């Protein structure tokens, strides 16, 4: 049976992952499974690409350390040197320190304490941190193998929306909720599949399924994509 099911329904997420794996190969592993390190990753180099962000992360690991106690005790100049891999380094040096102090003050220096809370409370705890909204909090729950949820960045969200999941809404949060609700019934429960989905959808969004001028002719999902096939999209 075709992966695009009856009446042009989009393919299930597991099938999308299979198609993208065939096209791109195995996706990279997440930068860490530690929740605080993942918060640091989000703040270490604002608006930097993945390569520069990884350099900043490793520089922080080598020169300061990645524990909240290390970052809280570090000179602000050392944090600024790391954050200079992105824009507004003064602001993000302070955010790194704020994240460290928050972890020490609220979670006795170990953010893993928040992950044992019920999901709603864990999400609330993670969203106390700079740069962590609902999608990033879900991504942390996923990358730490805490909850099998599909945290999407803007690239992955755009891909799924164009494929045919959910509806475009007036704001990002509403669109995100619509896509997540639409894909939930067929969501795999395996962490490896969900992590691969996040990484591969993000890659496709950055590579081919761009905001403007998407390169549909090169996209492996084009035969199963409402946008590529020119089907009307709900507003």
**Percentage of the chain with pLDDT > 90?**
89
Average pLDDT over residues 35-53: 97
In angstroms, rounded to a whole number, what is the distance separating the alpha carbons of residues 88 and 105?
26
Q: Which of 34-38, 63-67, 172-176 is least confident? A: 172-176
Q: Residue written as tokens 């509403």?
A: 174
- In DSSP terms, 9 is beta-bridged to 5
The Cα 72–Cα 15 span in angstroms is 44
Q: Does the structure show a pLDDT above 90 at 110?
A: yes
Report residue 229's pLDDT band, with 50, 70 and 90 as the boundaries: confident
Name the DSSP class of 9. B
Phi, psi of 9 (to 5 degrees): -65, 145
Residue 229 sits at the vertex; the CA angle it makes with 227 and 233, to the nearest 5 degrees, is 40
Rg (the chain; Cα; Å)? 19
The pLDDT value given to residue 179: 96
168-206 pLDDT per residue, tens: 998 999 999 999 999 999 899 999 999 999 999 999 999
Q: Encoding tokens for residue 144?
A: 């730490």
**Contact, 196 vs 13, CB < 8 A?**
no
pLDDT at residue 231, rounded to an integer: 52
pLDDT of 232 higher than 80: no
Supply 57's token pair. Answer: 């992360």
Complete domains list, the chain, with CATH: 6-28+151-224 (1.10.1670.10), 35-143 (1.10.340.30)
């Amino acid at each position: 049976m075709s992966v695009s099911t009856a009446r042009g329904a989009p393919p299930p997420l597991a099938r999308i992952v299979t198609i993208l794996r065939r096209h791109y190969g195995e996706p990279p592993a997440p930068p860490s499974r530690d929740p605080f390190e993942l918060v640091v990753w989000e703040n270490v180099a604002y608006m930097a690409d993945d390569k520069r962000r990884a350099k900043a992360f490793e520089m922080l690991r080598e020169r300061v350390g990645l524990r909240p106690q290390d970052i809280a005790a570090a000179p602000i100049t050392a944090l600024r040197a790391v954050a200079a891999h992105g824009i507004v380094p003064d602001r993000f040096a302070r955010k790194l320190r704020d994240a460290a102090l928050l972890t020490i003050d609220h979670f006795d220096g170990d953010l893993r304490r928040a992950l044992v809370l019920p999901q709603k409370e864990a999400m609330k705890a993670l969203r106390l941190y700079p740069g962590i909204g609902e999608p990033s909090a879900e991504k942390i729950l996923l990358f730490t193998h805490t909850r099998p949820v599909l945290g999407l960045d803007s690239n992955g969200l755009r891909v799924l929306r164009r494929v045919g999941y959910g509806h475009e809404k007036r704001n990002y949060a509403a669109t995100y909720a619509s896509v997540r609700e639409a894909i939930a019934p067929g969501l795999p429960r395996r962490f490896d599949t969900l992590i691969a989905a996040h990484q591969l959808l993000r890659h496709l969004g950055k590579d081919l399924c761009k905001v403007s001028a998407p390169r549909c002719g090169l996209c492996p999902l084009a035969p199963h994509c409402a946008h590529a096939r020119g089907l009307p999209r709900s507003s």
